[in-house]
Chain A
Amino acid sequence: MNTLLHVEDLRVSFPTRTGVVEAVRGVSFALGQERLGIVGESGSGKSQTGRAIMGLTPQQAEIKARRLEFSGIDLLKASPAERRALRGNRIAMILQDPKYSLDPVMTIGRQIVETLRTHEKVGKAEARERALDMLAAVQIRDPKRVYDLYPHEVSGGMGQRAMIAMMLIAGPELLIADEPTSALDVTVQLDILRILDRLVIDRGMGLVFISHDLRLVSTFCDRVIVMYAGKIIEELKASELSQAKHPYTQGLLNCMPKIGADRHPLPVLDRQPEWLL
């Protein structure tokens, strides 16, 4: 398996009035054509890791890494223009809530066409055709109708499919999905995952799946990285999650209410100061 992405000792820090906040503190991993899950609580640095790869870190933040490389391109040395050419084309990102991440004053079709025509020289008619095909590929039943709708006119699940269509139209090699299903109902969640799953298999895409939902990640991904306070505390095969060694991972697995388990009160995480080291 050839490696798409190398991340070595990635650090993201934000200067604030009360001192520097280190959001990501030395994260390393490599990604091939696989599904990699990054799990952690809010504030664990999982989203900032994804954003650093995508090049969406806020300007005031400082990014350091021994190596941050995407298919041979050094992302830290790349110019803004080079990053822009990559973004949306070879690396794409799906965000959490389609309500906030789609342009509210542009029809869904136009947004998809815009992405395509930014990265490829295609005529208007062909762009429309391809956008419609893409909408059909993410299992939107009536693509022609949805093409002309505004984001507020569609449901959350439909909006998320539209965003996936937009992200995939340029045929990215790496897809970063930041909580792509957290705003959706459980059953819709699984539909979206099925679409992503097929894309990874059919197109040989690399997928970074960022989520706080351990149950979902463990059933969907090949490998899971568990983050706590900006660091990777454990990396395991998704199928072996139940044998996690770190007390934090065990605690996270344990504290979810399960159907059929009668545990009152629920076990809670007993956070140890040494986890922060």
Chain B
Amino acid sequence: MTPALSIDKLRVVYDDFIALKDVSLTVAQGESFGLVGESGSGKSTLLRAVAGLAPVSGGTIDVSGQRLGKSRDKAFYRQVQMVFQDPYGSLHPRQTVDRLLLEPLDIHGFADTEKRIQRALDEVGLGSGFRFRYSHQLSGGQRQRVAIARALILEPSILLLDEPTSALDASVQAEVLNLLEQVRRDRKLTFVMVSHDLGVITHMCERLMVMQGGEEIERLEAGDLATRNVAQDYTRNLLVASEGFVRDA
């Protein structure tokens, strides 16, 4: 089976700063793959490069067997959609939820917009009561649901998730993670998810890559973290840090 996403020696350079150094990875169809690391590790850059939001200066990206060129066409965005970290920044402040959801449908020339918008809102657990609200009238969790609805409305097969819950409270995070798992199961989606939270990544992903300074440090199965089966000190430090504060005796 052709992999959903196949990246080979991807390199992203900003002026003289190398944000991503020859990272390779393959994600099978229907798989959920995680990227973990601290700020500056290049994990978000990798997602953005796939989405066409970061300048690629070397390497190749294949989506479902199709080599991607310099620019992305409409068909690409039907297939790949992204959900961003901050729901306060990623929704247009002067558009109602209805407008927000209509725009991608319009661009791609969908006919039955009315039905699709309703279905998209139902799917993310927001009733039609939310349809004509502005984003400032919604809570953080509700906004992130709208962002997910917007990504799903084009029926993509791959979802790129850039820290989708790190701006949310723990209780809301659980609801959004459950929603993401639900839609992934229902639609057989492929996820590539970025997070700094090892707990979230092991919960959501089967395989993961630990990154630092734009490079791959280590590749693990979700179960490896639970059994502490890690080879690199960097990963071990992250694991220790995720358990909270330890007072030196």
Residues on A close to B: CB < 8 A? Answer: 41-42, 156, 185-190, 193-194, 197, 212-216, 218-220, 251-252, 255-260, 263-269
**Interface size of B by Cβ–Cβ distance < 8 Å?**
36
Interface string of B178-214 (1 = CB under 8 A from A): 1001100000000000001111101110000000000
- With A185-B39, A255-B173, A256-B170 known as contacts, the answer to whether A218 contacts B244 (CB < 8 A) is yes
The distance from the CB of A227 to the nearest CB of chain B, in whole angstroms, is 12
Indicate if the CB atoms of A185 and B239 lie closer than 8 Å: no
Residues of B within 8 A of A255 (CB): 170-171, 173-174
Indicate if the CB atoms of A259 and B171 lie closer than 8 Å: no
- With A41-B169, A260-B225 known as contacts, the answer to whether A187 contacts B182 (CB < 8 A) is no
Asked if B140 is an interface residue, CB under 8 A from chain A, the answer is yes
Interface of B is mostly: helix
Indicate if the CB atoms of B202 and A215 lie closer than 8 Å: no
Asked if B38 is an interface residue, CB under 8 A from chain A, the answer is yes
Indicate if the CB atoms of B178 and A266 lie closer than 8 Å: yes
Residues on B close to A: CB < 8 A? Answer: 38-39, 140, 169-175, 177-178, 181-182, 196-200, 202-204, 225-227, 237-239, 241-248
The distance from the CB of A45 to the nearest CB of chain B, in whole angstroms, is 14
The distance from the CB of B41 to the nearest CB of chain A, in whole angstroms, is 9
From the candidates B238, B244, B246, name the one contacting A187 in the complex (CB within 8 A).
B238
Residues of A within 8 A of B245 (CB): 190, 193-194, 197, 216, 219-220
| Assembled-state Cα–Cα distance A190/B246 (Å) | 8
Indicate if the CB atoms of A265 and B39 lie closer than 8 Å: no
The closest CB in chain A to the CB of B227 belongs to A260
The closest CB in chain A to the CB of B225 belongs to A259
| Assembled-state Cα–Cα distance A176/B120 (Å) | 43
Closest 8 CB pairs of A and B: A260-B226, A219-B244, A257-B203, A255-B174, A265-B178, A186-B241, A185-B38, A219-B245
17 A–B pairs (Cβ distance < 8 Å), ordered by A? A42-B140, A186-B196, A186-B241, A197-B245, A212-B169, A212-B170, A215-B244, A219-B243, A255-B171, A255-B174, A256-B170, A256-B174, A259-B198, A259-B225, A259-B242, A264-B203, A265-B178
Indicate if the CB atoms of B171 and A251 lie closer than 8 Å: yes
From the candidates B175, B197, B202, B248, name the one contacting A268 in the complex (CB within 8 A).
B175
Indicate if the CB atoms of B171 and A252 lie closer than 8 Å: yes
| Assembled-state Cα–Cα distance A267/B170 (Å) | 11
Indicate if the CB atoms of A256 and B178 lie closer than 8 Å: no
The closest CB in chain B to the CB of A213 belongs to B170
The closest CB in chain B to the CB of A256 belongs to B170
Indicate if the CB atoms of B199 and A256 lie closer than 8 Å: yes
| Assembled-state Cα–Cα distance A268/B174 (Å) | 6
| Assembled-state Cα–Cα distance A212/B226 (Å) | 25
- With A186-B242, A219-B244 known as contacts, the answer to whether A257 contacts B175 (CB < 8 A) is no
From the candidates B170, B200, B241, name the one contacting A190 in the complex (CB within 8 A).
B241
Apart from A41-B171, A185-B196, A260-B226, 4 more pairs, CB < 8 Å: A188-B38, A219-B244, A260-B227, A268-B174
| Assembled-state Cα–Cα distance A193/B245 (Å) | 8
Residues of B within 8 A of A186 (CB): 38, 196, 238, 241-242
| Assembled-state Cα–Cα distance A258/B199 (Å) | 5
The distance from the CB of B206 to the nearest CB of chain A, in whole angstroms, is 12
The closest CB in chain A to the CB of B166 belongs to A182
Indicate if the CB atoms of B177 and A257 lie closer than 8 Å: yes
The closest CB in chain A to the CB of B169 belongs to A41
Indicate if the CB atoms of A266 and B225 lie closer than 8 Å: no
Residues of B within 8 A of A257 (CB): 174, 177, 197, 199-200, 202-204
Residues of B within 8 A of A218 (CB): 244
Residues of A within 8 A of B238 (CB): 186-187
The distance from the CB of B73 to the nearest CB of chain A, in whole angstroms, is 36
| Assembled-state Cα–Cα distance A188/B246 (Å) | 14
| Assembled-state Cα–Cα distance A122/B222 (Å) | 57
Residues of A within 8 A of B244 (CB): 215-216, 218-220
| Assembled-state Cα–Cα distance A185/B163 (Å) | 13
| Assembled-state Cα–Cα distance A157/B12 (Å) | 25
The distance from the CB of B167 to the nearest CB of chain A, in whole angstroms, is 10
| Assembled-state Cα–Cα distance A189/B248 (Å) | 16
Indicate if the CB atoms of B247 and A156 lie closer than 8 Å: no
The closest CB in chain A to the CB of B140 belongs to A42
Residues of B within 8 A of A220 (CB): 244-245
Indicate if the CB atoms of A259 and B202 lie closer than 8 Å: yes
The distance from the CB of A276 to the nearest CB of chain B, in whole angstroms, is 15
| Assembled-state Cα–Cα distance A188/B199 (Å) | 18
| Assembled-state Cα–Cα distance A263/B204 (Å) | 10
| Assembled-state Cα–Cα distance A41/B226 (Å) | 28
